[in-house]
Structure formats: structure tokens, C-alpha cells
Structure 1
Amino acid sequence: MTADTVLDTKVMGHRGAALLAPENTLSSIKAAAEAGASWVEIDVYLIAEGGLVIFHDDTLERCTNGTGETRLLLPADVSRLDAGGYFSAAFNNEKVPTLLEALECIQSLGLGLNLEIKHADKDVENIVPAVMAVLRDHWQDNNKLIISSFNHQALQLCYEIADGRHLAQLYEAIPDDWQAQLQSIEAYSLNCDYSVLTKEQAQAVKAAGYKLLCYTPNDPDLVASHWEWGMDAVITDDPTQFAFLVENERL
């Protein structure tokens, strides 16, 4: 899928707005909107019994008061976790949202969504159909949705299930065979680590017809040259740092 006008922003909040509120929570999504971001990136994770929650890590300790492997978390126990107290007392008892709760929140705020599929390799065939089914039933505007993953197999399965979705291949360092990978899924964009991206790579991505999104700069000076290279948007923990771009979008 060639890059068209789906992405209508230069600033996308990372895990909601991870420096403004506890990451991957409804409060973080709302904080991104309050900061002026019109798109958010969040992570969807498969837990026990086929549950889908918004969470990043393979273990619960960093972002909740729980312990153990995220994959083993029971849906019935999700609401008991405090996913905000680690950030500050103002967010005590913030919950880990389900995918459905996040979709409802994001759409109620009129935001676009970059949904990153987290995975273990053995779970790709379990998580992808489940995520795609929820999106089919509960996400309304396909032009406000990008599905991303570091796992190329996951994106291939997304493509097979619904080839009209806008898919984004995630990389840290861009591999030599990036173009073949993107072509195989008719990708919409290439999303990569801004700190290892080169000018030549950026220009090649743009010349091939793809959108280019970079994570996770939290200082505009770090990506000043990247805009000249053709970068389309930043995925940032703090959208307020890019408020000047947000204001320009509103004009």
C-alpha cells in the first residue's frame, strides 16, 4: 500500500504520552490528546485465556504493582493491578486497560491510532487473529488506524487476514532487505529508531513511496535534520515538546 494521506499529523504520542502519565493507560491517552497530539501509539499484549490488554513489557513489575509474566496474567486479575502508582501518587489505582477500552477511549477523543502488536513468536497465530477481530468489530475509521510490529510474521498474518489495513514494519536498525519485507505486506510505513537512521536510508524509504515515522525523540533538536531527510512524523513520549508542530497543523 503506497503512502497516501492517511497520516495527517507530524506528532504521535508514544504509549499515549509516557512522560506525562503512566504509559499505555487511558490517562496517558488522554494526556496525549490534551497535549495536542492527534494520534497515539499504544501496545497490545496477549494474556491468558485469550485476553488482550494494553501493555508493553513481558513482565508486570516495571509498570504495575503486580509480579510475574504478563502472558500468564488472567483477565479476571487485570482490574486488580495498579498501573499508575509507580508513576506518581496522582495516578494511584490507574488500571491496565483492555484493548476494547482503549479503542473506545481513543475514538471518543477523535484520535488516530498506531497499534503495535507485541508478541512472543509462538503466540503470533494467537494474538493476530484476536486483535484483527476486535479491530474489525470496534474500530470505525480505517484511515485513522496503523498496525505496527517488529515481528514481520505478525504483519504478514495481518495482511492475509485484512489486506486493506495500513501496516507499518518496525525496526531498530533498518536491515538490508527492508524493501522486500515492506513490499511483501504492501506496507504503509516504515517506523524506526531515529538515533540510528541515516540520511541515505531515509531518502531511500521515501523514494520507495513509504511514510517514515521515527521513535522516540523527546527533544526536537534530536531530529531537526530528520525532517529535511523526509521524516513524516515523530513518535514521542512528550508531545508538548513538539507543540510548535501541532500548532502548525491546526493553522
Structure 2
Amino acid sequence: MKNETRDILQTKVMGHRGAALLAPENTLASIRAAADAGATWVEIDVYLIAEGGLIIFHDDTLDRCTNGSGVTREARPTDVAELDAGAWFSDEFSGEKVPTLLDALECIQSLNLGLNLEIKHDSADVENIVPAVMAMLRDHWQDNDKLMISSFNLAALEMCYEIDGLRHLAPLYEDIPTDWQEQLESIEAYSLNCDYSRLTEAQARAVKAAGYKLLCYTANDPKKVAAHWEWGMDAVITDDPTQFAALLIN
């Protein structure tokens, strides 16, 4: 496991989709909002679209977070570039764009933030997204100790591991499976990232006893994860880093 050699996670608070309660999720504005709130790490989603495009987006359809509609995977990069990804959130963000992966990598590094990049891919054809994402990271991301790659798709993380065994990988779970340790060991995972509301104390302590970092999403009320810190949780992934302001003070 990667954390035997270096503890890359120098924070207890990670902004979710940037800072999804402070600005439109998965936009550069949201990433900047997280930084302004004091977060030093952000989580964002990378999504494969038509013509091999890689954008920062969460949903399978464009409707909720843009003024467009239709299946995200089928959208062309030139069309996505024209969409408004901010007006749905508030007038203040009208005209905000859907970032490309490269846009986001450049923005995050300019702010000196760490990145948890979630590969959003529910299909079996991981070979269509993973090599492209890994090539982009190889060419445009500088500091491996400020990068974590996460996914609910274990096959995607397995391919990441095959391409570059030095990346810090993090399987994502809603309900942690019984064979979680086998899965993490198979890719020399850095952490286990899971739904805080479904995590049990026994599971948390087992993850920590096995030597892995434990990150919990999506916690927006500090009181609801108060016990989780006692169980060994290392960091929360939150839509509003200001709710955990006391933990952001170095």
C-alpha cells in the first residue's frame, strides 16, 4: 500500500466537486470557491464524452447542471464548450463553462491544491477512458503526492494500476463489500473512500488496522461525522468546506 512510504494527505477536509454548495459543482468557479474557503484538496469528476473528450462532469445527462440536454457520453466537445454550467446555480455564475480535464488540472495546480480525481465510468469499456485520463495526468500533472485517483469502478482502477503502479488509488464504495481488503490489496490502494452514512465503526477500524487511509463522503454537517473521527476517519469530502473551518487551520 502506498501510505507505507509517504503520507500524501495533509488535510482533513476535501472539497466535493470543488465546493458544490458554494458554486456550481465541477466548474473552475467551484474549485476556486473551495480554495477560497481554505480547502487544500478538491475532488472532481472526469467524464468521457464523444470524440474522446474528457470533461469535468458528474451526471449521465446534461440536464441538471447545464442549459443543455441529452446523454453526456454522446455530447461533442464543441457543443459542450458552448453550454452554460453556472446559471442553474445562480445568476452570479451565469456563463460558467464545463471545464475540460486539462482546464481543471491547470486551475488546480495554479492554486496549489491537491486533487482527488474520480473517474466517472459505469461501463465495462474502461479502455476508452482510463488510458486517456492517465496520459493527460502524465503530461499535465506535476506532483504525484498531490494526486489521488478514485472510482466506483474497480476495473478502471485496475487499469490505472497497470499503466502506472505509483499512482495513489482509492476505491469508492457506497456499501463496503466483504472482500474490500482483497480489492484494495490488488491495486496497492492508498485509501478507501466511502459513504459516511453507511460506514460502521467496525468497518472503519478494520480499514485503519489494515493500514489504509479512510475518507468519507459527502459530509456537510460536522455533527454527523463526529464519531467517525474517533473511529479513525482521516478526511471528510464535503460540499461546503466552511462547515469544517476549524479543521482547515494549520
Q: Which moved more, 1:117-126 or 1:194-203?
A: 117-126
In structure 1, the partner of 2:27 is 25
Q: Distance in 2 between matches of 1:122 and 1:149?
A: 13
Q: Distance in 2 between matches of 1:138 and 1:102?
A: 10
2:89 pairs with 1:87: yes
In structure 2, the partner of 1:42 is 44
Unaligned runs of 5+ in 1: none
Unaligned runs of 5+ in 2: none
Q: Which moved more, 1:1-10 or 1:25-34?
A: 1-10
In structure 2, the partner of 1:98 is 100
Matches within 5 A, 1:1-251: 1-3=1-3, 4-247=6-249, 250=250
CA RMSD of aligned residues (A): 0.6
Measure how far apart 1:79 and its partner are.
Answer: 1.5
Deviations 1:96-147 (A, max 9, x none): 0000000000000000000000013143111000000000000000000000
Q: Distance in 1 between matches of 2:187 and 2:14?
A: 23
Q: Distance in 2 between matches of 1:136 and 1:78?
A: 25
Figure out how many residues of one structure are paired with residues of the other and give that number.
Answer: 248
Q: Distance in 1 between matches of 2:149 and 2:231?
A: 24
Equivalent pair of 1:2/1:209 in contact (CA under 8 Å): no
**What secondary structure, in the 3-state scheme, does the structure 2 residue paired with 1:157 have?**
helix
Measure how far apart 1:2 and its partner are.
Answer: 3.6
- Of all paired residues, the percent bearing the same amino acid is 77
For normalisation by structure 1, the TM-score amounts to 0.98
For normalisation by structure 2, the TM-score amounts to 0.98
Q: Distance in 1 between matches of 2:167 and 2:114?
A: 14
Q: Distance in 2 between matches of 1:229 and 1:220?
A: 15
